[in-house]
Amino acid sequence: MTRAERVYRALLRAYPRSTREACGEDMVQLLVDRLRDADSSFAMARVWVEAIADIAMTAPREHVTRRWAVKVVEGPVLEGHRPLAPDVRVAAAPLLLVVIVALAQPGYYEPLFDDRMVLAGLPFGMAVLALAAILAMVGILAARRNDDLVDPWVQVVLLAGVLVSFPVMRMVEGFYTAVATAMAMTLFVLVTRFRALMLALAVPFAVWLLFGPPIVAALLNSVGE
């Protein structure tokens, strides 16, 4: 395999897996033919520019079409059209937990917003995000094997979008970090309906929401002493 083929095959990962399986080899063959017939360095560069522009234009369309096509062609019994309600329940569970705990015991999450956490070098918010990112990668790898509903690379982009939205939400006065994180998670899971990540994130996050505040309070007390 030539270097050009390897590079082009890597670029083809922008397409959904089903598209790559259906016509990936043909696309590689066509690029190889065009490069073979290019009679100058300039012509070869043009072939590459056109091929990359072509991917940029057609890959997003294929992702959208694939999502639609799965629902229409394969029918309601398959994963492409699985019921939304169970996904919503799992996705909203952490957010619901925050609301219930906050109502039952106001101030329970206050230790998480103590300035001494930052002064003591205990950026728990960032730790949670790092954990979420690691779990997300685990989920993405799992989804690659299971061929989840949305292509994993689209999920990576969506996850990045959610992580970027997190600090923006935190800038809103009085907006709790826990609520912002839970909302971001719920949003992400609902948009992607990423089953593997949903389960990978929801359980540890719920545990952190329940047991995080007393742990942080104990750590702050030890720092303060």
Applying CB under 8 A, the residues found at the interface with another protein are 15, 19, 22-23, 25-31, 33-34, 50-51, 53-55, 57-59, 61-62
The token pair at 188 is 């992400």
Nearest distance, CB of residue 51 and another protein, angstroms: 6
CB of 153 to another protein, least distance (A): 15
In the bound state with another protein, the residue whose beta carbon lies nearer, of 51 and 91, is 51
Of 63 and 193, which has the nearer Cβ to another protein?
Answer: 63
CB 10 within 8 A of CB 19: no
Q: Which is nearer to another protein, 3 or 145 (CB)?
A: 3
Smallest gap from residue 41 Cβ to another protein (A):
19
Tokens 């906050």, residue? 102
Query: Residues 18, 21, 24, CA angle at the centre, nearest 5°?
Result: 115
Q: Rg of the chain over CA atoms, in angstroms?
A: 23
Closer of 33 and 147 to another protein (Cβ): 33
Contacts of 77 (CB under 8 A, 6+ apart): none
Maximum Cα–Cα distance across the chain:
76
Asked whether the beta carbons of 4 and 31 are under 8 A apart, the reply is: yes
Least distance in Å: CB of 140 to another protein? 24
